[in-house]
Amino acid sequence: MIFQAVQALRPNASFEVRNNILVWKESPEEKPNEEEIQAKIAELQAQYDANEYQRQRAVAYPSWQDQLDKIYHDGVMAWQQEIKAIKDKYPKS
């Protein structure tokens, strides 16, 4: 996550991450210090963790074609119940 953290902190910087070591290239932006990087990693991890329900729902939802088929054959109420069951199984944090 070092790469994502530095990219978020210094979006216009030129750098690489090799073996979890930040390699700073010539850049008009100042290299972030370790505290900044670790704080950003913690922030990004918290965001990722908070959105776990979205990833679970995305896998559980039927394809949009199947959802439209459900609506066509069984009606909107049946479709809503199916989607609600998934939302209830994977609630927002």
Integer Cα distance of 72 and 43 in angstroms? 43
Least Cα distance to 89 among 66, 58, 63 occurs for 58
Write out pLDDT tens, residues 23-82: 999 878 899 999 999 999 999 999 999 999 999 999 999 999 999 999 999 999 999 999
